[in-house]
Structure 1
């Protein structure tokens, strides 16, 4: 295969003085104009590499930049060109991103099916509600470690995103059983749910999930307030 025909690029967790996210992205952007799927998570990529990729690629469907050093500038350029084509976007741990940038992203990337915005400290509860209200086609949402995630966010997610199949809410300390009641009521077809580290989740919430979510295949309850009663109900 010629480099010009490469469509997928994955260089996660690469190390070395010359093997950085930006160096690879700048080289790829000069040659690989057909890239549709790129994963440069944990490579210290910056705005420089992502902007070059956004300009050179004809149509991006999938971009994973978890742990990269990005600002609003690169995300705004990305969504201006690829907002309509993007179906998967992972921004976990991109600490410099602001709430208004991610609201704009949600308004432009209406075809997104997978979104990871965990560990972005500048996100607020109103911002998250606006995001899930815009992205009605989401099938997987990762919100790990966000203090802004509360029961009202899950309420809007469950009611605005009926196609949701995977929901990651680990280490969201404000969540209570109310969120699990909402999921059981409005997302009964969910298959993957992670509420690990949510200490306010108890047996009552778990029982609601067990009774309503019959297609559930994975449930993480580690470090929650659940006991034998809730776990027995899940096993039944």
Structure 2
């Protein structure tokens, strides 16, 4: 009966809380919290995560949040982000969108006024103090590019948040005293990110390594000019439980990496971009880090196949290998990996110009569990490499090829025949790949969900007609494929009902007829990507309304002809583009 609250009169708090607990996604919880003030009060304590954009007056803002959400465990503050409100809070409504900081939200909510400045501020030490006082149960804190925080705020936070397990200080100019305080107070810290923390030196990191010796498992360092091998030696000496190290530094040498390799036997993930590290360091990793599962090497100019040979001999559990711009690696290095790392699942080779067909053949013959393969700017790798991958890697699900000029249709046909579980295929500027290879993919890989064929100018309608048989396709990018026309796009529209993204950027003419699955949403995505569209026939598409027609007219600056049913054209669209609109003879 209207006016009677039967739910709240019957349901106890415990049952409502249990209902809220069973709601899996945030939008559902948000919706339920709006039922009434009682449900809102019961839902708020269940919130454990807060994400905040650019902030100002953090004391006010954080205190407000801490009063409303008492059980927060994770706080993410990213100064690169701002908050956009479609309708600003306050007494008046404005027609345009306004970007405001978190401070503005607090001020507007408190004062009910729109006369608050829109300048974006940065989190200060006062904000860190407020976080420490307001969220004593905090376990994870991310401060991304919060350039105004310093050691003073970090010291206060560390003293208040003894349960902290994860700390991300990317781009924060904190000093050694703050980092040392974290080591002294946060004995459960497991994950520490110090990327672009230019104010730190060895002093702070050494103190943290000593303080968090038993707990630290993950450490990331990048562009910290004053952090040297001394810090890594301390990590290797004290942090025996370290599992992940990500290191990007021009100032690290073999000494630091050797210390970590020899002192951290549990190391599972190692990412290195250090131009002064040589084979000696990788040999130590191969002999000491027997649990290594992921190895990523970027821009190495001072190590050779000797390093990969040691990895292949010692790291039998390696599953993920990335080699980027490592100029002195050759097929022998990949042969060693193939021979020793039988559990390899992911392989990326990027710009390693001495690695050729033979190296990939070894992988195809010896790594049957491979599921992801990316070959970028590999001019020396030819068809025989993927022929062997097709024969030996039946579980392959993802293949990416960029600027591989010697790979053609025969290679793609082999992948299609041998890797029928393929779900993702990205090809860019591989000019020897044409219709034959893509047709084979369409005929054999029925689980394909993600296909990108950018600037493959030998691919045309025949290929897309075959791909149209892949009913699970969700993502398609064929920008730069000049031979694709109406027949190919129509086949995709008819055969791929789950398609959510389509990029045909260079397409000029399109015909959509009797496409019952296409709606205004799909039209919107289509025309946003087709900046060169000149002609569009869009008839007998019941899901397209006058809104979709208006979208085509307003989004395509080069449109010269639009054929559509007359009843779908509003008066406003007629006034705006009547000269280019042609009407279907029969009104539906």
Query: What are the ranges of 5 or more consecutive residues in structure 1 without an aligned counterpart?
Result: none
Contact (CA 8 Å) 1:41, 1:68: kept in 2 or not?
A: no
User: Partners in 1 of 2:356 and 2:411 — Cα distance?
Assistant: 14
Which residue does 2:366 correspond to in 1?
A: 186
User: 1:226 Cα shift?
Assistant: 1.8
Contact (CA 8 Å) 1:46, 1:68: kept in 2 or not?
A: no
Summarize the Cα distance change of 1:153–1:56 in structure 2 as closer, same or farther, 3 Å threshold: closer
Matched, 1:195 2:371: no
The 5 Å alignment of 1:38-77 reads: 38-44=219-225, 45-67=227-249, 69-77=251-259
User: Partners in 2 of 1:58 and 1:232 — Cα distance?
Assistant: 48
Summarize the Cα distance change of 1:15–1:130 in structure 2 as closer, same or farther, 3 Å threshold: closer
SS of aligned partner of 2:298 = coil
Matched, 1:10 2:193: yes
Based on CA coordinates, which of the two structures has the bigger radius of gyration?
2
Summarize the Cα distance change of 1:41–1:214 in structure 2 as closer, same or farther, 3 Å threshold: farther
Compare 2-11 and 220-229 and name the one that shifted more. Answer: 220-229
1:60-117 Cα distance to aligned partner (Å, 9 max, x none): 11111134521111122223321x22111111x2111121232122111122111223
User: 1:129 Cα shift?
Assistant: 1.7
Which residue does 2:351 correspond to in 1?
A: 171
Which residue does 1:114 correspond to in 2?
A: 294
Contact (CA 8 Å) 2:220, 2:245: kept in 1 or not?
A: yes
More strand by share: 2
Structure 2 counterpart of 1:230, from 405, 408, 411: 411
User: Partners in 2 of 1:73 and 1:171 — Cα distance?
Assistant: 27
The 5 Å alignment of 1:215-226 reads: 215-224=395-404, 225-226=406-407
Report the TM-score when normalising by structure 2: 0.37
User: Partners in 2 of 1:233 and 1:195 — Cα distance?
Assistant: 16
Which residue does 1:89 correspond to in 2?
A: 270
Greater relative contact order (Cα 8 A, min sep 6): structure 1 or 2? 1
User: 1:22 Cα shift?
Assistant: 4.4
Root-mean-square deviation (Å) = 2.3
SS of aligned partner of 1:195 = strand
User: Partners in 1 of 2:293 and 2:325 — Cα distance?
Assistant: 21
SS of aligned partner of 1:5 = coil
Which residue does 1:161 correspond to in 2?
A: 341
The 5 Å alignment of 1:197-212 reads: 197-212=377-392
Summarize the Cα distance change of 1:21–1:214 in structure 2 as closer, same or farther, 3 Å threshold: farther
User: Partners in 1 of 2:240 and 2:338 — Cα distance?
Assistant: 34
User: 1:5 Cα shift?
Assistant: 1.3
Query: What are the ranges of 5 or more consecutive residues in structure 2 without an aligned counterpart?
Result: 1-160, 163-185, 416-440, 445-588
Compare 71-80 and 20-29 and name the one that shifted more. Answer: 20-29
Summarize the Cα distance change of 1:41–1:215 in structure 2 as closer, same or farther, 3 Å threshold: farther
SS of aligned partner of 2:376 = coil
Summarize the Cα distance change of 1:228–1:24 in structure 2 as closer, same or farther, 3 Å threshold: farther
SS of aligned partner of 2:350 = coil
Contact (CA 8 Å) 2:250, 2:276: kept in 1 or not?
A: no
